[in-house]
Amino acid sequence: MNCACEGGNSRGCDCVMASACPKTPGRAIGLRQDRLLRPAGPTAHRTAEVDVRSPPVLPEAVGWDGHMTSETDLRGRTALVTGGSRGIGAATARRLAREGADVAVTYVRGKDAAEEVVRDIEALGRRAVALRADSADAAQAGDAVRRAAEELGGLDVLVGNAAVGMTGPLESLSLADVDRLLAVNVRGVFLAARSAAAVMGDGGRIITVGSCVTARVPGPGATLYAMSKSAVVGLTKALARELAGRGITANVVHPGPTDTDMNPADGPYASGQAAVTALGRFGTAEEVASMVAFLAGPDAAYVTGAEFSVDGGYAA
């Protein structure tokens, strides 16, 4: 079963978590950086009764327009968000544009969704472009950065969001599965970062979207996915050291269960996912995007090689 993926053609990349892949019995599909495994075993009957809480209602401040905004100023900056046609990627692209950046997004099959993000950004008075690029393809992964820099007249911020997910017992994962997932989640991230370092000026930002499973794996079946996201942590810390002399920072953001169209907070496995968090609820894509925007801004110039969890206390 092939899915329309923001980061590459791979089974399970953008599917809702299912109990099993229809083509490979026993394989759960659909884990991405904004999903958690469905709890299994003795605790399963308890998590089924947990209520999913809604995000708290924030007090209205003077002049507040209803958006989660900050004093981040990205005017005159340019950014590329890989896998930016939906979910966390789309929210991040829109947030960076609201802060003043011109933004490019990549997609694989979600052309219409990517073009909608572009229109939203242009409505804010910023420049935007959608680029088709499959992070599973080594040539395209790096070339997307070069194309974005050409379209926008430079590149200051790279947000590596494109990823695929595949879960299942060790014996069910083929070599092709391993190669496909690592091509997108690790090699593609590395190649994009390398290309970004080549075109960025001093003071650039490299921000990668990781996963809460690097800190805690809630159940069996996530070996391959957790391995790939843990590799991104090591890459980020090494990039921080290698690029520090140019003032380029590298950080990773780990989302927890996040309410998106492919993993809704009222979905069939939402209760179990929310139960693993301290706050007892899903996060929003905008909450993750707000952390990315901070790291992209001038106030984060002294922040590098760090991990930031936006997971509702999942790792607490």
Per DSSP, the residues of 228-262 read HHHHHHHHHHHHHHHHGGGT-EEEEEEE-SEEBTT
User: Phi-psi bin for 144: left (phi > 0), alpha (psi -120 to 50), beta?
Assistant: alpha
How many C-alpha atoms does 164 have within 13 Å on its Cβ side?
29
CB atoms within 10 A of CB 43: 14
Helix (H) or strand (E) holding 96: helix 87-98
Q: How far is CA 117 from CA 56, 95, 164, 194, in A?
A: 27, 11, 21, 26
**Main-chain dihedrals φ then ψ at residue 259, nearest 5 degrees:** -75, 105
Out of 225, 269, 302, 314, the active site residue is 225
Return the SS3 of 189.
Answer: helix
Return the SS3 of 104.
Answer: strand
Residue with tokens 């053609």: 9
Task: Please state, in angstroms and rounded to a whole number, the distance separating the CA atoms of residues 287 and 6.
Answer: 20
Mark whether 225 is an active-site residue: yes
Kindly give, in sequence order, each residue whose CB lies less than 8 Å from that of residue 62, ignoring residues fewer than 6 positions away. none
Per DSSP, the residues of 56-94 read PPPPPPTT--SS---S---TT-EEEETT-SSHHHHHHHH
* Residues forming the active site: 225
